[in-house]
Structure 1
């Protein structure tokens, strides 16, 4: 279990910061809201997404993040917690839990602390008992990881075809951008995923982002194929506030 928790922590960093890691672009299902219902374009609260991204506050901030990773239509891993973004490197605290469909012996229930130079992870038992913290270093590629705003800008740069219009999410106006991103797009923005795409021969993947009125990405979706199966990552961000303290466990 302890080894699986360390592996899961690595998955968490990969999904949250660089998306899936392998395969060709997969077929995309219709975008879903957090309630599971389809998100449809609305004219209410329309705004200029280019201006929103341009004028977004560059100062560091934190957000509550939930990440769901699917293999096909099966939910595999759920991560939730608060992350600091827009700083020199993302930091935060997350809990990781595999779905009930995880094979026996491969289930993970753990928490991880992400620092600029390392992650700390420990297992959590159903009775609340926690294991010992295990430290794992981050490779040097992590320093160049982009935040979701960079993905939004990549999609915006694709031109009018990527601009899908205003949509309401959680009762607030957002603007949806959608398109295919290639290795070349990520070369200067997300070096870790760029290297993984090159090593696996992945040419492109489908990506959607939803941007709010102040230029923050509130939802990120990605579709790829891994080991011949379609993979889908869904990341939601909310409750934006000032950065929160994050330190190594004692």
Structure 2
């Protein structure tokens, strides 16, 4: 389980750092659709997903985010917090915790502060005591961090087969896109994940994206095979609001 939890933690971090955001971030590819159709839901909850993505507010915002990572169908790691998106880089504060499936002596908990130029991480114990902050600089590929809106556009580019239609997410209308993305498709959209996939020999992965009528991604699911382990990541975003202040620990 320790091995699985460690792998899951790594996969969850990869997803967080390479998939942060929703809407029209500066690095995301522009939608190819020229449709001026409204993204307002119809009576059946359907709306024009291309228009929603194209018209998404580009202003910075924050969102609650929760990532659940399953390895071999077992929930192993939960990452949760609040992130700022649509800025020059994703920033936020998160907590990474093993699930109850991990043996007590193998469980861990950590908190991370993500800044535009570095991350700070420290471990936490059951009594609330914290270890020292460890700083890690971001690699040169971080400048190309993509947002979930870019994943939505990649799925749209797959054509009609990727369009699964309207569904509800947390009781609100959303449009689901689903398909398989190859490593090469991520080369210019998500360089960090592209490099990870190349290093581990991963050729492709399946993913689903749910876009709301405002053009924000509210749910993202991904199925990966990393280090011989089958992983399923489920990311949910909600309670959108103004950006929150984030700074390095003192």
TM-score, length-scaled by structure 2:
0.83
Kept in 2: contact 1:218–1:237 (CA 8 A):
yes
Kept in 2: contact 1:146–1:189 (CA 8 A):
yes
Instruction: Kindly state the Cα deviation for residue 93 of structure 1 after the two structures are TM-superposed.
Output: 0.1
* 2:211 alignment counterpart: 211
* 1:33 alignment counterpart: none
* 1:191 alignment counterpart: 191
Q: Distance in 1 between matches of 2:230 and 2:18?
A: 17
* 2:75 alignment counterpart: 75
Kept in 2: contact 1:175–1:210 (CA 8 A):
yes
By relative contact order (CA 8 Å, sep 6+), the higher-ranking structure is: 1
Kept in 1: contact 2:64–2:83 (CA 8 A):
yes
TM-score, length-scaled by structure 1:
0.83
Kept in 2: contact 1:112–1:119 (CA 8 A):
yes
Deviant stretches of 4+, over 3 Å = 6-13, 103-106
* 1:118-197 correspondence runs (5 A): 118-197=118-197
Q: Distance in 1 between matches of 2:197 and 2:8?
A: 20
* 2:63 alignment counterpart: 63
CA distances 1:31-70 after superposition (whole Å, capped 9, x unpaired): xxxxxxxxxxxx7311110110111111211110000001
Matched pairs, number: 224
* 1:34-45 correspondence runs (5 A): 44-45=44-45
Instruction: Kindly state the Cα deviation for residue 10 of structure 1 after the two structures are TM-superposed.
Output: 5.9
* 1:233 alignment counterpart: 233
Aligned in 2, Cα 1:196/1:8: closer, same or farther, shift over 3 Å? Answer: closer
* 2:34 alignment counterpart: none
Is 1:244 equivalent to 2:244 in the alignment?
A: yes
Instruction: Kindly state the Cα deviation for residue 110 of structure 1 after the two structures are TM-superposed.
Output: 1.4
Instruction: Kindly state the Cα deviation for residue 104 of structure 1 after the two structures are TM-superposed.
Output: 5.2
Q: Distance in 2 between matches of 1:65 and 1:11?
A: 16
What SS does the aligned partner of 2:153 have? helix
Q: Distance in 1 between matches of 2:8 and 2:132?
A: 16
What SS does the aligned partner of 2:224 have? strand
What SS does the aligned partner of 1:18 have? helix
Kept in 1: contact 2:8–2:76 (CA 8 A):
no
Instruction: Kindly state the Cα deviation for residue 229 of structure 1 after the two structures are TM-superposed.
Output: 3.0
Instruction: Kindly state the Cα deviation for residue 15 of structure 1 after the two structures are TM-superposed.
Output: 2.2
Q: Distance in 1 between matches of 2:166 and 2:199?
A: 37
What SS does the aligned partner of 1:154 have? helix
Q: Distance in 2 between matches of 1:136 and 1:8?
A: 19
Gaps of 5+ in 2: 1-5, 20-42
CA distances 1:56-85 after superposition (whole Å, capped 9, x unpaired): 111211110000001011111101000011
Q: Distance in 2 between matches of 1:187 and 1:122?
A: 32
* 1:84 alignment counterpart: 84
Q: Distance in 2 between matches of 1:9 and 1:231?
A: 11
Q: Distance in 1 between matches of 2:108 and 2:102?
A: 9
* 1:109-120 correspondence runs (5 A): 109-120=109-120
